[in-house]
Amino acid sequence: MAVHLEGVAPGVGSTPGDTPPSEPLAGGPGGSARHSSGIARVVIRRIIGAIFSLAAVLVFNFFLFRVLPGDPARKLARSRHLSQEATADLRERLGLTKPIWEQFTSYLNDLAHFDLGTSFLFHRPVADIIGERIWPTLLLVGSSTLLSIAFGLWIGIKGAWQRGSAFDRVSNATSLTLYSMPIFWLGIVLLLYLAGVQVGLGWFPTGGIHDPNVTGGWLASTLDVVHHLFLPCLTLTLAYLAEFSLVMRSSLLDEMGQDYLTTARAKGLRDVLVRRRHAVPNALLPAVTLIFLHFGFIISGALTVELVYSWPGLGKLSIEALDFPDFPLLQAIFLLFAVSTIVFNLIGDLLLGVLDPRVRDA
C-alpha cells in the first residue's frame, strides 16, 4: 500500500520523492525556466542595489572627512616650522584652497584612473601604504573570523540538538557573557593576565607582529608571527563566537519543529542522519548572510584590538590618519572598507537567493 507523506519541505534536505506530483520537478522544462528567471531577477536586483550603495559611499566618503576638525597644512607647517606664507603655499599645493565641488570632481577623476593620491602624513602613494598594512589585518581578522565561524556553528548545532543540557546552558551563558564585553576591554584583560610580565604570566608578547631580533630562517619567523598573533586572534574569536553560535542555535531550533524532520524520522533515518542531511543544511541558510557579512569586515579589521595590541594593520592606520587628518589616506581606507562590505554582502545575498527558493521567488 502506497503511503503519501505530507509536509516534506522541498528545500536542501528534501529528496526528489518528496515533491508533490502536482508540481513540476526542478529538472523539468517549467521548473528549470522558473528557477533560471528567479535567479536572474535576484542577481539583477542585488547588483543594482550594490551600485546605488557604492555611489552613495563615494559621495559620503569625500564630504565626511571635510567636516573633521583640524588643518593638514597647519600640522605639516608646524612640524616643519614654516611661516604663514609658506603654510598658505602648502595649502594651495595640497589642493585645499580649491572650491569643494572642484575637489570632489578631482577626487572622482582620480578614482576613475585608479589613483588614490598621496598621503599628507607619510608623503607616499596611498596605495603603497595600504598595501603594506592590509596583510596584517587580513591575517588577524581573517584567522579569527574563520575560527569563530567553525567553533560558533559547532556550538550552535550541538547546543540546539541537546537543548537544555549542561553543554547548552554553559555554552549559551559563556557566549552571551563574552559577546556583552567591550572588545577592547577583553583585549586588555587578556593582555594583562597572559602577556603582562609583572602581574601576568608573560606567555605572549605585549604588542607588534614580530620580534626584529628573531633569527633562524622562515620557520622561526613564522612561529614568531604566530606567537604575536595568538592573543589578538583569541580576543576577536571570543568576541565573535556568540554571533554565530546564537544564530545557528536559533535557526536549528526553528527547523527542529518542522514536519519534514518528523517525516524523515518516520522513514527510519537515524537521528544523526536527520540532523546532518536535513536539519543542519536548512538551518545554515540564515547563517550564510552573517558569514559573508563578517568576511566583508575582514578588510576593515578591528580597530580597538589593533590599538590594544599595537598591531600594524589598517585599524591602527585609520587612527593615525584621523589624528592628522590625512584626507587622501582616510578616503582610501574608508572606500576600501565600504567596497569590501558591499561586495561580500552582494555575494551573500546572491548565494542565499540560489540556495533558498523562498528568497528567490520573493
Q: What is the pLDDT of residues 254-309, one digit of tens each?
A: 888 778 877 877 887 787 788 877 788 888 877 887 888 777 777 666 788 888 89
- Asked if pLDDT for residue 97 goes beyond 90, the answer is no
Region 171-180 average pLDDT:
88
| Confidence category of residue 362, pLDDT binned at 50, 70, 90 | low
Q: Which pLDDT does position 23 carry in this prediction?
A: 40
Phi-psi region of 12 (alpha: psi -120 to 50; beta: other; left: phi over 0): alpha
Q: Which pLDDT does position 25 carry in this prediction?
A: 41
- Asked if pLDDT for residue 33 goes beyond 70, the answer is no
| Confidence category of residue 4, pLDDT binned at 50, 70, 90 | very low
Phi-psi region of 3 (alpha: psi -120 to 50; beta: other; left: phi over 0): beta
pLDDT: which is higher, 268 or 170? 170
- Asked if pLDDT for residue 358 goes beyond 80, the answer is no
Region 243-247 average pLDDT:
89
| Confidence category of residue 32, pLDDT binned at 50, 70, 90 | low
- Asked if pLDDT for residue 351 goes beyond 80, the answer is no
What is the rounded distance in angstroms from the CA atom of residue 32 to the CA atom of residue 128?
48
Q: Which pLDDT does position 38 carry in this prediction?
A: 62
> In this structure, are residues 6 and 15 in contact, taking their beta carbons and an 8 Å threshold?
no
| Confidence category of residue 34, pLDDT binned at 50, 70, 90 | low
Residues 71, 73, 78, CA angle at the centre, nearest 5°? 95
Tell me: cis bond preceding 325? Omega within 30 of 0 counts. Answer: yes
- Asked if pLDDT for residue 154 goes beyond 90, the answer is yes
Region 131-159 average pLDDT:
91
- Asked if pLDDT for residue 70 goes beyond 60, the answer is yes
pLDDT: which is higher, 208 or 4? 208
Count of CB atoms within 10 A of residue 100's CB? 10
| Cα dihedral value 228, 229, 230, 231, nearest 10 | 80
- Asked if pLDDT for residue 28 goes beyond 60, the answer is no
| Confidence category of residue 16, pLDDT binned at 50, 70, 90 | very low
| Confidence category of residue 196, pLDDT binned at 50, 70, 90 | low
Q: Which pLDDT does position 278 carry in this prediction?
A: 78
> SS in 3 state form for the chain?
CCCCCCCCCCCCCCCHHHCCCCCCCCCCHHHHHHHHHHHHHHHHHHHHHHHHHHHHHHHHHHHHHHCCCCCHHHHHHHHHCCCHHHHHHHHHHCCCCCCHHHHHHHHHHHHHCCCCCECCCCCCEHHHHHHHHHHHHHHHHHHHHHHHHHHHHHHHHHHHHCCCCHHHHHHHHHHHHHHHCCHHHHHHHHHHHHHCCCCCCCCCCCCCCCCCCCCCCHHHHHHHHHHHHHHHHHHHHHHHHHHHHHHHHHHHHHHHCCHHHHHHHHCCCCHHHHHHHHHHHHHCHHHHHHHHHHHHHHHHCCHHHHHHCCCCCHHHHHHHHHHCCCHHHHHHHHHHHHHHHHHHHHHHHHHHHHHCHHHHCC
Region 144-164 average pLDDT:
90
Q: Which pLDDT does position 13 carry in this prediction?
A: 45
What is the CATH code for 33-69+116-360? 1.10.3720.10
Whole-prediction pTM: 0.74
Of 10-19, 64-73, 167-176, the poorest mean pLDDT is in 10-19
Region 130-140 average pLDDT:
91
Region 123-149 average pLDDT:
90
Angle between helices 285-300 and 314-323 (to 10 degrees): 50
Residues 6+ apart with CB under 8 A from 334: 61, 64, 65
What is the share, in percent, of the chain residues with pLDDT greater than 70?
80
Q: How much is the mean pLDDT over the chain?
A: 79
Region 162-177 average pLDDT:
90
Query: What residues form DSSP beta bridges with 118?
Result: 125
> In this structure, are residues 120 and 327 in contact, taking their beta carbons and an 8 Å threshold?
yes
pLDDT: which is higher, 295 or 48? 48
What is the rounded distance in angstroms from the CA atom of residue 236 to the CA atom of residue 230?
10
What is the rounded distance in angstroms from the CA atom of residue 289 to the CA atom of residue 92?
46
- Asked if pLDDT for residue 323 goes beyond 90, the answer is no
What is the rounded distance in angstroms from the CA atom of residue 86 to the CA atom of residue 195?
48
* Domain range summary for the chain, segments of one domain joined by +: 33-69+116-360
Most confident of 92-96, 244-248, 279-283: 244-248
Each as own residue / partner, the long-range contacts of residues 94-98 (CB below 8 Å, 24 or more positions apart, any chain) are 94/120, 96/71, 96/72
Q: Which pLDDT does position 304 carry in this prediction?
A: 84
